Structure 1
């Protein structure tokens, strides 16, 4: 099992456990995440949750392109107004879960990781964490990812991250300064810092906590829903054909720069 679920003291810890693949998600992982969030809706013993990645080198690097190719390409609708995206339902809010969820980020968080990070209440990371979005480098539109991050980062920051692609990574320190990350923990300490917060949240009356979560999200949901409705045609019109994407991906070079300020 590459998605682990543990429960203790009213807190569920969801761990992406494919460290050898930088916790990239295949189709089975995406489906498992959705099932876990939905199962937690009816688990009265869980009042808060943490999502993290195993191994320390990465939180999540999005979809595992090689695994998805082996499993068979995801069939797409014959019109640009809808899209079949295996990661669209991997977040807690997409599965109607309203207990507070905190992300503990160590190492890389990129691309499809933002489907998860855009649906948590807040992030804890380390200075050595790295956030980036490689879509444009490989001929793909960053739509859902950029839209999700636009709700968490200043416009110029998310625009730069989405447009610069694989050429630039945002350090944990810079992410903290711009508000994407709410707390910087020592290396190896992000999970414990996130658990400290969620144990506090789990100790409060659940109705008050979930009502507050819903209130906070209600303040931003209209803009988010309107933006996401535009994503399918933008992706369909802007993406290179899959074969050309794969060629760019295979030819990638490590010329990444870190942006710390």
Structure 2
């Protein structure tokens, strides 16, 4: 069963890509990671699709990052890191068609690999954003680096360092620029599709050139930062077994939403 669903309106030029593992809060396992790579690369060649909306299935989550059951063997060198999420985003797969994220429910951790490569984010009032890495003894590297291009430094730092104790509400995410629009309840997908439909109606070359120009303006800093990510993760993260222990024994107290 496919973990990623693609629904394309050939006439309107908009494709909706849906992360479809609601029973796992749309967490990304290795199959979903591979499917996302295949989807983005296939959309490069589909000229009937001129804009894309990315969303998650169900009401509880957009995406909760990498599936906790995924085991990725790592090399012994601290200077290399095998991260299956590095190739799940549209830009990583050379797709320069605009991608708009529609967020309902939780978006956390590895979800930022996807949000960081979307042009903008539309959310409904249930959306919350947080980064659990530090709580479980992990370094938030790629996630924080990508979000540093979307949010003020202090907001990224607070989100990354506060871990699971706090969540950023849709309202606050809009105030700090992470979210471009907060819709009515349940309206994020429709809002994102509305924007995508407008963009899909414009001349393709100008739209894709603008997306590429925008990305060029911001990719230099992430590229330099990414070069340091692997050793930071390898040297700063607890052993996987200890991370799992912290996750099993995690505090079940409701997080503060700000």
Q: TM-score, normalised by structure 2?
A: 0.97
Question: Is 1:17 equivalent to 2:15 in the alignment?
Answer: no
> Cα offset for 1:172?
0.5
Write out per-residue CA displacement over residues 116-139 of structure 1, whole angstroms, 9 at most, x where no aligned residue. Answer: 000000000022211000000000
Which residue pairs with 1:173 in the alignment? 171
Which residue pairs with 2:224 in the alignment? 226
Which residue pairs with 2:107 in the alignment? 109
Structure 1 contact 103–194 (Cα < 8 Å) conserved: yes
> Cα offset for 1:256?
3.8
Q: In 2, distance between residues paired with 1:78 and 1:238?
A: 14
> Cα offset for 1:254?
2.2
Write out per-residue CA displacement over residues 181-240 of structure 1, whole angstroms, 9 at most, x where no aligned residue. Answer: 000011111000000000011000000000001111111111110011110000000010
CA RMSD of aligned residues (A): 0.8
Q: In 2, distance between residues paired with 1:150 and 1:14?
A: 25
Unaligned runs of 5+ in 1: none
Q: In 2, distance between residues paired with 1:256 and 1:115?
A: 25
Unaligned runs of 5+ in 2: none
Moved over 4 A (4+): none
Paired positions, count: 255
Which residue pairs with 1:130 in the alignment? 128
Q: TM-score, normalised by structure 1?
A: 0.96
Write out per-residue CA displacement over residues 59-80 of structure 1, whole angstroms, 9 at most, x where no aligned residue. Answer: 00011112x1xxxx31212211
Structure 1 contact 5–14 (Cα < 8 Å) conserved: yes
